[in-house]
Structures are given as C-alpha cells and as structure tokens.
Amino acid sequence: MTPGIRPLVAGNWKMNGLKSALGELEIMRDASKPGNKPNHDMLVCVPFTLLAQAAEMASRSSFNIGAQDCHKNISGAHTGDISVEMIADCGAEAVIVGHSERRTDHGETNIEVLGKANAALDWGHMAIICIGESESQRKSGETLNVLKAQMDGSIPDSPANGEIVVAYEPIWAIGTGLTPTVQDISEAHNFMRNELVDRFGEAGKSIRLLYGGSVKPANAKELMGIDNVDGALVGGASLKAVDFLGICEAYQ
C-alpha cells in the first residue's frame, strides 16, 4: 500500500445480480457502518437494474455504490445507453470505465474511455479507469508499453470535480484463477505511479491504484502488502458478502 492513502476495495458485479442479491449488499453495508470503524473505503458497482435500490440501501452508511459504465454525453439520442446524470439520479457515486471486457466486447478505444472518464469526473463522481495487458502482450514483453498507451490515452488531464482511480487488471488474470507474481504486480504498479507523478506532479502520488484479477480472500493480504497497491477491484468474489468482506479484512 501507499503510505497516506486510504485503501479502496471495489466490487464489480458485472452482468450478475437480481433483486434477491440485495441481501448480500445489506451484509456488506452493515459491516461498513461508522461504528465498525473500517479503515478502508468500500464500493460495489452493480448492474444498472439494481442501481437505485442499492444506492438507497447504502445511503445511510459509509458503503458506496457505483455503476459499471456510462455514456460520455449527459443526454441525447443514444438508445440503450446510461448517462452520468442518470447514474447520479439513482444515488450512485462512482463509475467503472474502460474495463477490458468493454474494450474487448464493445471495441472501446482509449479516446472513448477518456470521454466517459471526463463525464464522470465533471459530474463529481469517482472514475475507476481500467488498464491491462493481454496474455500475448505480456509474453511479448509489451506490458509496460501497453499500460503507458492506455494511461496516456484514457486518463484525463485533470480530475475536475471527481476522483481519478486507476485499476490495473491483467486481462489474462480476470476470472481465470491465475494471478501475476508479486514481482509482476509490483513492477506494473510502480510504473503506473511513476507515470502519474511525471504527469500530475505531487497530485500523482495520491491517486489510488487498484489491483484486479482473481482477487480473493486467500491472496488479498499478500496482494495488498505490495507497494503502490492501494486497494482491489474485485470481480466474482464481490458477489458474496463473506468473500468480499474476507478481502476487506486484509486491511484490518
């Protein structure tokens, strides 16, 4: 972890979760009540269908709710898309942008991710900007070049009114059970920190860097002990309160 930075554990439910899953969120919320004095921030990004209900459930706690994507425009003729204004109207406070599944499945470019990040930040939201390399890119030694290109192209020049968070998710480790070595993660996160400091100066030292990719209770403590890993972006393990809270225990 980075000294002086409050860690963030963020869950990404992806295309999972019906109304019955709100019970899991209720357990997570109760664990984050001020009386329990968690020393980290907790966030879960749920499907759009659960956004308003989840945000209402979390409204009287330090537990926050976010969305998994947004459109760069506030309104307009964009059938099927969701604007940050709509997300805010539901009570959510954060948006994931540029996840590798969006970049791959929907062909999102760095420019498109940048537009979405700017929209979230302009609205005062947290923008969790995802970057990461494929297995073939790693094997060919292109990891740092890929990360640099994605950071240069996807991260806004100014955090505006919101907060920039950068999440490193090696594509080959997402949902596969594979986890990079401590050395691999350390190299990536140290590189990211240096890039941010080069670009933003002192402000780059306080931008939270999350690691994502098969994070689970069994490996969370080791992962969170790596320099410049300021939290986790958790996929499948965030669907169950017991697993998500088990990861949060790495910060206790």
Q: Could you read off the pLDDT tens digit of each residue along the chain, which spans 252 residues? A: 777 899 999 999 999 999 999 999 999 998 876 666 678 899 999 999 999 999 999 987 889 999 999 999 999 999 999 999 999 999 999 999 999 999 999 999 999 999 999 999 999 999 999 999 999 999 999 999 999 999 999 999 976 688 999 999 999 988 888 879 999 999 999 999 999 999 999 999 999 999 999 999 999 999 989 999 999 999 999 999 999 999 998 877
CA separation for the pair 223, 226 (Å, rounded) = 6
pLDDT score at 141: 95
Distances (CA, A) of 92 to 46, 51, 103, 240, 247: 10, 7, 23, 20, 22
Residues belonging to the chain? 252
Structural domains of the chain sorted by starting position, each given as residue range(s) with its CATH number in brackets: 8-251 (3.20.20.70)
pLDDT score at 71: 98
Query: HEC profile for the chain?
Result: CCCCCCCEEEEECCCCCCHHHHHHHHHHHHHCCHHHCCCCEEEEECCHHHHHHHHHHHCCCCEEEEECCCCCCCCCCCCCCCCHHHHHHCCCCEEEECCHHHHHHCCCCHHHHHHHHHHHHHCCCEEEEEECCCHHHHHCCCHHHHHHHHHHHHCCCCCCCCEEEEEECCHHHCCCCCCCCHHHHHHHHHHHHHHHHHHHHHHHHCCEEEEECCCCHHHHHHHHCCCCCCEEEECHHHCCHHHHHHHHHHHC
Active site residues: 99, 169
Q: Which residues contact 30 (CB under 8 A, 6 or more apart)?
A: 61
